[in-house]
Homo-oligomer: A and B are copies of this chain.
Amino acid sequence: MEDRSEQLSRPGVEALDAILGQPFGVLDDGLVRVVDYMGDDAAVVQAARVSYGAGTKKTSDDRGLIRYLLRHRHTTPFEMCSLKLHVRVPMDAWRQWIRHRTASVNETSTRYSLAIDAAQRTAPQQWRIQAVNNKQGSDGWVDEDLGRKLSDQEADLQDKIRCVYNERLEQGVAREQARKDLPLCTYTEAYWKIDLHNLLHFLALRMDSHAQKEIRDYATVIGEEIVARWVPLTWEAFQDYRFKARYYSRIEHEILAATTRGNLEQARTTAAQAGWLRVTKSGALARHRERGEFELKLETLGLPIPWAETGEL
């Protein structure tokens, strides 16, 4: 470890200090801003080097070490950094957010205080259509005429609900009970503190295309505007080794290796053993989600689909 008698000063990050307290707007009335932080890329390196001893200082630079850590899933050094945000977010997105249990949270209480007088409003062009083949997702937007109608209806409804809330309070009903019919998309505010390892995990899940658009918007701002400034080396390595990395299952990799070696028969055998090549009554290949996803990967690699060839015979 470093010389024991040295006088330290706290590590700081100029690029992050420059935006401390500045709100980044999200959705129609939400925000994210940095309130405090602890550590930087160098703190990750410092923690990792505890294990290696002083000798390694010479041989590997900081960037290389951070990339090594993320590549080999050595996650504990990233816990040495923490970020504290002030967020303003609709409660229905917050319900997803709060499922990340490793963060510290202090949220505005609607028992102590009045609920924030704002609920998320949807612009006419922002209404999304239910996806057909992804039960949990959306796919495209409704046309603008319908969008306008939905937005008007939304405004009316939210006004009506707020009205009832206010009436209840005027008549002396307890705040903790009066709030019960407020819309799920009512804004709430919170301090949210999390260490960098767990933040990266949050970002990997919530910046993903399968995450709901609302929370994805928040995650993207946190990642691109804040984490990228705070720990640039970690952010770059996160992109390369985690967010944009590709996974191949054991089965996928065996089929891939047979295909790259030109042994399509072996590829078909492996796929068949994995149950990928069941045939419907009509003689066509039955739908198989995992096989479908793998076919897209083969396409990306410019490789032939082993069972497609068979079909062509």
Contact = CB atoms under 8 A, between A and B. Distances in A.
Interface of A: 1, 4-12, 17, 20-23, 31, 33-39, 43, 46-48, 50-53, 67-68, 71, 73, 76-77, 79-80, 82, 84, 86, 90-92, 95, 98-99, 101-102, 104-109, 111-114, 119-120, 122, 127-131, 135-139, 142, 146, 150, 153-154, 157-158, 160-161, 164, 167-169, 171-177, 179-186, 189-191, 193, 195, 205, 212, 239-241, 244-251, 253, 256-257, 260-262, 289-290, 300-303
A226 to B, nearest CB: 14
Given A17-B10, A108-B51, A302-B257, A183 B181 contact: yes
Nearest to A111: B136
A161 B135 CA distance: 23
28 contacts: A1-B189, A6-B21, A7-B21, A7-B22, A9-B17, A10-B36, A38-B82, A47-B191, A51-B108, A52-B112, A71-B290, A76-B104, A76-B106, A79-B193, A80-B193, A98-B99, A104-B195, A130-B169, A138-B176, A142-B173, A153-B167, A239-B250, A240-B249, A241-B249, A244-B249, A244-B253, A245-B248, A260-B302
A52 B136 CA distance: 9
B261 A253 contact: no
Contacts of A186: 184
Contacts of A119: 181
Given A180-B122, A246-B248, A104 B79 contact: yes
Contact of A160 (B79, B139, B157, B262): B157
A184 B182 contact: yes
B301 A257 contact: yes
Which of A48, A50, A107, A289 is packed against the most chain B CB atoms within 10 Å? Answer: A50
